[in-house]
């Protein structure tokens, strides 16, 4: 049993290296064709794309049941789906259906408890993000937004100027 787990032949090593090279070159080519957005985290679909590509790469390289060509077809399919989703999201109704809305977690020094619950963010998570953003006093906070990607943005109060409304246009307040 242990011998089987540690079994490795030059043939299998060669196949792994060949598959890795082929799938790696495919990722480079598809990323050049489709753009860097393929690895962004601008939406939940972009994040899913990144995870799917990683899974396809790993499966193609290490699984003897998935050929390099099958991996490349899977890879191209995921890239095409992402491009199709990007085009579809240009339609306001489809975008609203596909994308999460950013959610306001703090309005100035006020922590919006209902929004924390909606976002499933704890006060501890919020404190951590505030520290990460170099906030030393709550009075330094202009707003905290739970972004569509799950990231938390901290907007600092550097002056008494109100936030530009364009920046907060799609942020849900309640």
On the question of pLDDT at 160 being above 60, the answer is yes
CA distance 5 to 164: 60
CA distance 109 to 81: 42
Domain residue ranges of the chain, discontinuous segments joined by +: 2-96, 100-156
Q: How many contiguous H segments (helices) and E segments (strands) does the chain have?
A: 7, 4
Are the CB atoms for 47 and 157 separated by under 8 Å?
A: no
Are the CB atoms for 130 and 122 separated by under 8 Å?
A: no
Task: Enumerate residues 6+ apart whose C-beta is below 8 A from 171.
Answer: 101, 102, 103, 104, 145
Per-residue pLDDT tens over the stretch 119-152: 999 999 999 999 999 999 999 999 999 998 888 9
Mean pLDDT of 78-91: 90
By CB neighbour count within 10 A (0-12 exposed, 13-18 middle, 19+ buried), where does 72 fall?
buried
Output the six-digit token pair for 144. Answer: 């905290």
Domain 100-156, architecture per CATH: 2-Layer Sandwich (3.30)
Q: Please give the pLDDT value at position 6.
A: 64
Per-residue pLDDT tens over the stretch 24-42: 999 999 988 888 777 766 6
CA distance 112 to 97: 25
Q: Please give the pLDDT value at position 89.
A: 86
Per-residue pLDDT tens over the stretch 25-84: 999 999 888 887 777 666 777 778 888 999 999 999 999 899 999 999 999 999 999 889
- Split at pLDDT 50, 70, 90, the class of 10 is confident
- Split at pLDDT 50, 70, 90, the class of 4 is low
On the question of pLDDT at 2 being above 70, the answer is no
Buried b (16+ CB within 10 A) or exposed e, 107-117: eeeeebeebbe
């Amino acid at each position: 049993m242990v011998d089987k787990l540690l079994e490795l032949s030059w043939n299998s090593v060669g196949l792994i290296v060949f598959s890795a090279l082929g799938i790696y070159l495919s990722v480079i080519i598809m990323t050049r064709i489709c753009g860097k957005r393929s690895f962004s985290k601008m939406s939940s679909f972009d994040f899913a794309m990144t995870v799917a590509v990683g899974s396809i790469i790993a499966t193609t390289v290490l699984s003897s049941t998935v050929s390099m060509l099958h991996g490349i077809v899977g890879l191209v399919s995921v890239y095409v789906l992402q491009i199709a989703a990007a085009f579809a999201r240009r339609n306001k109704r489809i975008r609203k259906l596909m994308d999460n809305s950013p959610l306001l977690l703090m309005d100035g020094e006020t922590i919006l408890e209902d929004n924390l619950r909606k976002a499933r963010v704890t006060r501890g998570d919020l404190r951590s993000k505030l520290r990460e953003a170099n906030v030393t006093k709550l009075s330094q906070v202009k707003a905290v937004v739970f972004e569509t990607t799950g990231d938390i943005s901290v907007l600092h109060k550097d002056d008494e100027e109100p936030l530009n409304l364009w920046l907060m246009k799609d942020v849900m307040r309640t």
